[in-house]
C-alpha cells in the first residue's frame, strides 16, 4: 500500500467539502489539526475568538473521525509553537511523504508553505485551491485587469450574473435595480423587537476549551463568558435559519442603525461561521433569496444581505490576493499616531466609542457600521498608525482573518491605499452618528458644536482631517462641496475648530 499522505486542516477550513479532503482517501491518509501557540499570539486574539475556533476545530475533528478519517489532533496544552511542529510529529509517526493542504487565507502562511515547509517537513507540499469561495483569485485578477479603480459595485453585478442570484429570466436584476442601499439607512425606532442571534449552551467539548483558554490567556482582551457561539455545522445552520425567520425581514431597513439597547439589532452574526467554514456562502445566499421569492422578506433586505456576501466578501478577498504583499505596507495618508489605549479598555467619555468597545469586548463582535463609522472613523480622523489599527481589528473580532480584515481596514477604514478600494475616505462628523444611533443623547460631549471645549471630538477632528488633507481631496468630485463649506466658514471659526482638534490630537488618550 502506498505511503499515507497528511492532510492539514486549518482553523478556518472546517468544511467537509474542503478541496484537500476531496483529494484525500480516508483509508490511506491522515488528517492533521493543531491548536498552536504561534497562531494565538501573532496578534493578541480575543479570548472568545480563540475559544470559538478551538471548539469548532475539536467538533469538526470528531465529525471527521465519525466519517472514517484518522485524525491527529494536537491541543494547545501540548505546546506546539507552530504548525510545522505538529506536522513533523505526524510525519515521523506515519512516514508520510506528501502534505495536502487547501490554500490558507493569509499571505504569510501561504509563503511559508511554499518556501519553507518542504525543507522543514522533509516532504512535498501540495497546495490546493480553496473552492469555498464563489470567485477564484484567477477570475478576479482577470476581471480587475485594465481597471484603474475596480469598484465593488461592478464586481457585484458580475457575480450576480454569474450566479443568477436575484436575477430574472431576461438577465436583469429583480426589482429593476442592482442595489437598494438607499432604502437601508433607517434609524432604529424600536417598533420591531430585535430577536438577537441564536445562542447555544456549551457542551462538554466546548467547556474543556473554555477552561483551557481561561487558564492559558487569563489577561487577554475579551470576555470569555457567556459563550454562546455555534461550533458545529448543525448549530451554524440553526443560526442561519433563526436569522432568516426572525431578523432578515427587518435587516435591510436597519442595517446601518446603532442602538445602545441592543448590540445586534437585525444583523445575522453569521460571518464568523461562514469564514470558519461552518456555512457555505452560496448556500447562505440562496437561502436568503428563497425568503424573497416566497414573499417572506422584502427585496431591500435580501439584496442588502446577499451583497455583503456575494459582493463585498468576495471582492475584498480578490483584492487581497491581487495586491499582496505590497498592499500591507500602504499608508498614503501618512497615518502614524499610536492607537489610543481606550480601544482596549473602553475608558473614554465618547459614548459611541465606549459602547462599540464594550460590545467588542463582550461578544468579539460589532456590526459593520460600528466598525466603520465609530472605531474606524475615529482612527482615520486621529491618523492612527495603519498597522496598529489593522492588528487591533484582526485581534478583537471572531470573524477577522487577514484576507477579509486587511482590505476593509487599510482600504475602507483608513483610505491608506489612496482610493483603490473606496473612491473617497469614510470620514464623518458626529452628526452621522447622531442620525444613525441614540448614543449622543447621554454623551457628555455636545454633538451640535465643533469648537467648544465640550464639543463632540468627531466634529473638530473631521474638519481637521479635511483641512490637513486639502491638497489630496479638494478637487475630488465627491468632496468638493465639503471644501466649499469649509471655505465659507468665518476664519475665526475655522481657527477655533482647528485649535480644538489640535488639543485633542495632542492627548487623544483623554478623549
Taking alpha carbons only, the member of 2, 3, 1 closest to residue 91 is 3
Q: Is the pLDDT of residue 113 over 70?
A: yes
pLDDT of residue 464: 97
pLDDT of residue 190: 83
How much is the average pLDDT of 224-243?
Answer: 98
pLDDT of residue 147: 87
d(CA 184, CA 44): 34
Taking alpha carbons only, the member of 405, 297, 63 closest to residue 413 is 405
Q: In what order do the strands lie in the sheet with 98-102?
A: 70-74, 30-34, 6-8, 98-102, 124-128
Coil vs helix vs strand at 441: helix
pLDDT tier at 182, thresholds 50, 70, 90? confident
pLDDT tier at 246, thresholds 50, 70, 90? very high
Coil vs helix vs strand at 224: coil
Contact 96, 5 (CB under 8 A): yes
- Report residue 141: phi and psi, to 5°: -60, -40
d(CA 137, CA 153): 18
Contact 11, 95 (CB under 8 A): no
Contact 350, 399 (CB under 8 A): no
Q: How far is CA 434 from the centre of its chain?
A: 24
Which residue bears the cell 464586481? 155
Coil vs helix vs strand at 446: strand
CATH architecture, domain defined by 137-196+247-323: Alpha Horseshoe (1.25)
Strand partners, 98: 124
Contact 160, 173 (CB under 8 A): yes
pLDDT tier at 284, thresholds 50, 70, 90? very high
pLDDT tier at 438, thresholds 50, 70, 90? very high
Fold held by 342-510:
DNA Cyclobutane Dipyrimidine Photolyase, subunit A; domain 3 (1.10.579)
Mean pLDDT taken over the chain: 95
Burial, 308: exposed, middle or buried (Cβ in 10 Å; 0-12, 13-18, 19+)? middle
pLDDT tier at 398, thresholds 50, 70, 90? very high
Fold held by 6-128:
Rossmann fold (3.40.50)
Helix axes 137-144, 314-323, angle to 10 degrees: 80
pLDDT tens string 297-330:
999 999 999 999 999 999 999 999 999 999 999 9
Using alpha carbons, list the distances in angstroms from residue 244 to 50, 65, 292, 293, 295. Answer: 27, 32, 10, 13, 12
CA dihedral 360, 223, 260, 311 (to 10 degrees): 30
pLDDT tier at 189, thresholds 50, 70, 90? confident
Q: Is the pLDDT of residue 184 over 90?
A: no
Contact 412, 372 (CB under 8 A): yes
d(CA 275, CA 105): 10
d(CA 90, CA 86): 7
pLDDT higher at 40 or 289: 289
pLDDT tier at 3, thresholds 50, 70, 90? confident
Q: Is the pLDDT of residue 225 over 90?
A: yes
d(CA 440, CA 445): 8
pLDDT tier at 243, thresholds 50, 70, 90? very high
pLDDT of residue 1: 58
Peptide bond preceding 231 in cis form (omega within 30 of 0): no
Q: Is the pLDDT of residue 497 over 90?
A: yes
Write down the H helix ranges in 368-490: 368-369, 377-382, 386-396, 402-406, 430-436, 457-468, 470-473, 480-488
Which stretch of DSSP H or E encloses residue 376? none
How much is the average pLDDT of 107-115?
Answer: 96
pLDDT tens string 84-94:
999 999 999 99
How much is the average pLDDT of 2-27?
Answer: 94
* Domain range list for the chain: 6-128, 137-196+247-323, 342-510
Residues 6+ apart with CB under 8 A from 411: 316, 319, 417, 420, 421, 422
Contact 256, 369 (CB under 8 A): yes
Q: Is the pLDDT of residue 272 over 90?
A: yes
Q: Is the pLDDT of residue 145 over 90?
A: yes
pLDDT tens string 404-421:
999 999 999 999 999 999
pLDDT of residue 256: 93
C-beta atoms surrounding 179 within 10 Å: 16
Amino acid at each position: 500500500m502506498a505511503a499515507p499522505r497528511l492532510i492539514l486542516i486549518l482553523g478556518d477550513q472546517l468544511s467537509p467539502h474542503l478541496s484537500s479532503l476531496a483529494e484525500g482517501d480516508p483509508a490511506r491518509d491522515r488528517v492533521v489539526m493543531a491548536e498552536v501557540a504561534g497562531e494565538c499570539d501573532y496578534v493578541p486574539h480575543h479570548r472568545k475568538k480563540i475559544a470559538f475556533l478551538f471548539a469548532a476545530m475539536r467538533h469538526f475533528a470528531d465529525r471527521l473521525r465519525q466519517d472514517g478519517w484518522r485524525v491527529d489532533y494536537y491541543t494547545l496544552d501540548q505546546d506546539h509553537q507552530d504548525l510545522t511542529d505538529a506536522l513533523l510529529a505526524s510525519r515521523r509517526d506515519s512516514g508520510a511523504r506528501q502534505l495536502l493542504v487547501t490554500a490558507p487565507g493569509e499571505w504569510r502562511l501561504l509563503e511559508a508553505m511554499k518556501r519553507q515547509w518542504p525543507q522543514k517537513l522533509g516532504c512535498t507540499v501540495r497546495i490546493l485551491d480553496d473552492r469555498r469561495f464563489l470567485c477564484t483569485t484567477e477570475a478576479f485578477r482577470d476581471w480587475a485587469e485594465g481597471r484603474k479603480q475596480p469598484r465593488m459595485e461592478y464586481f457585484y453585478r458580475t457575480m450576480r450574473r454569474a450566479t443568477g442570484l436575484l436575477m430574472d429570466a431576461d438577465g436583469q436584476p429583480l426589482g429593476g435595480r442592482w442595489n437598494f442601499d438607499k432604502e437601508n439607512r433607517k434609524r432604529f425606532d424600536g417598533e420591531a423587537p430585535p430577536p438577537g442571534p441564536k445562542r447555544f449552551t456549551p457542551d462538554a467539548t466546548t467547556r474543556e476549551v473554555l477552561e483551557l483558554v481561561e487558564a492559558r490567556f487569563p489577561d487577554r482582551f475579551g470576555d470569555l463568558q457567556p459563550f454562546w457561539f455555534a461550533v458545529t455545522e448543525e448549530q451554524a445552520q440553526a443560526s442561519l435559519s433563526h436569522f432568516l425567520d426572525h431578523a432578515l425581514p427587518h435587516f435591510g431597513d436597519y442595517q446601518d442603525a446603532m442602538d445602545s439597547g441592543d448590540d445586534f439589532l437585525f444583523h445575522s452574526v453569521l460571518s464568523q461561521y461562514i469564514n470558519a467554514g461552518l456555512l457555505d456562502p452560496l448556500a447562505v445566499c440562496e437561502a436568503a433569496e428563497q425568503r424573497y421569492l416566497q414573499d417572506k422578506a422584502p427585496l431591500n433586505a435580501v439584496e442588502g444581505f446577499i451583497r455583503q456576501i456575494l459582493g463585498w466578501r468576495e471582492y475584498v478577498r480578490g483584492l487581497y490576493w491581487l495586491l499582496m504583499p505590497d498592499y500591507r505596507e500602504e499608508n498614503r495618508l501618512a497615518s502614524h499616531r499610536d492607537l489610543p489605549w481606550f480601544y482596549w479598555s473602553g475608558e473614554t467619555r465618547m459614548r459611541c466609542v465606549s459602547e462599540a468597545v464594550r460590545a467588542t469586548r463582550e461578544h468579539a463582535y460589532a456590526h459593520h457600521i460600528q466598525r466603520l463609522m465609530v472605531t474606524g472613523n475615529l482612527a482615520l480622523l486621529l491618523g492612527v498608525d495603519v498597522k496598529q489599527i489593522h492588528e487591533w481589528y484582526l485581534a478583537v473580532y471572531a470573524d477577522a482573518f487577514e484576507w477579509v480584515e486587511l482590505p476593509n481596514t487599510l482600504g475602507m477604514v483608513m483610505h491608506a491605499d489612496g482610493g483603490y478600494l473606496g473612491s473617497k475616505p469614510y470620514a464623518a462628523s458626529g452628526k452621522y452618528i447622531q442620525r444613525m444611533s441614540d448614543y449622543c443623547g447621554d454623551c457628555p460631549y455636545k454633538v451640535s458644536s465643533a469648537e467648544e471645549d465640550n464639543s463632540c471630538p468627531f466634529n473638530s477632528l473631521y474638519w481637521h482631517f479635511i483641512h490637513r488633507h486639502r491638497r489630496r481631496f479638494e478637487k475630488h468630485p465627491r468632496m468638493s462641496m465639503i471644501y466649499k463649506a469649509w471655505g465659507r466658514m468665518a476664519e475665526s471659526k475655522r481657527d477655533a475648530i482647528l485649535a480644538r482638534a489640535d488639543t485633542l490630537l495632542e492627548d487623544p488618550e483623554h478623549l
